[in-house]
Structure 1
Amino acid sequence: MPETTEGDSVLHLFDEVVAAFNKHGVDYMVIGGFAVIYHGHVRTTEDLDLFVRRSRENVSKVIAALDEVSGGELKLTPEVFTEGKGVLLGEAPLRIDVLSQIAGIDFDSAWGRRETDRFGPATVCYLGRQDLIANKRAAGRPQDLVDVAELDK
């Protein structure tokens, strides 16, 4: 049997979360570094960022999916997401950020502009290119501004 590398375990965890979100019918979009890579700027990233709809119905699905992946250890409440917060799971490079609010972007508006494609073995929705650029500009961190410059090329 081939030896498992740290990179394999990172992608396996990401695949597990995405599969659970898809199984539970969660409305979500991949954002952050993986979305930047999807839109054409290859760079490293230390986490998987997921943007979820804040509706009570969707939040219930998010919690069910995360409970499935964690074996129920997280003990999340709906308010974590409905109040515009989120949850950070693990530590880089095995970190997954599940966010219900991001700078400069309204989920419902962006949902209509999402792009659907593969992420490993799963089909996922990515934040659309212009929304990703708007989010990165609004966040304004140094890496975000580098991403904007690359995505604007």
Structure 2
Amino acid sequence: MEVTINETQANTIQEKVKTFFDPNNHPAGFCPVKDVVDRIGDKWSLLAILNLGYGERLRFNQLKTQIEGISQRMLTVTLRSLERDGLVNRYVYAEVPPRVEYELTPMGEKLLVKVWELADWAIEYKAQILESRAAYDKKAAKKTRS
């Protein structure tokens, strides 16, 4: 599959990039892409979002069990950050012991859709990416030997 960008699309993309990098379009200290990518770009946030994507509320320990390798502290920090950004709802039940559950907000669910679009893209181009890596590594190995 070959993707072609016509002149109108290229101009639209260029305008979006110019608008994006115009500091007058963002509150001081806030870059929407950087802030969002920082949040979901770390593996723990992404794994928490994906695990909560089943559409059910999960208890803290269920999430901890499902996210292999995450510490209790890191899961706590991750969930607090996702809650702060409005991506996760936290429900506390006055029980002994206290029960806490988490679920994606509607905004978190929309983010999950975008994450899956990226995953679909990665699946679609996986073979080409692997071929490109192999070709690049082969060239780099030749240069090293020369």
**TM-score band, normalised by the shorter chain?**
under 0.3
TM-score (norm 2): 0.28
Higher relative contact order (CA 8 A, sep 6+): 1
Greater helix percent: which structure? 2
Greater strand percent: which structure? 1
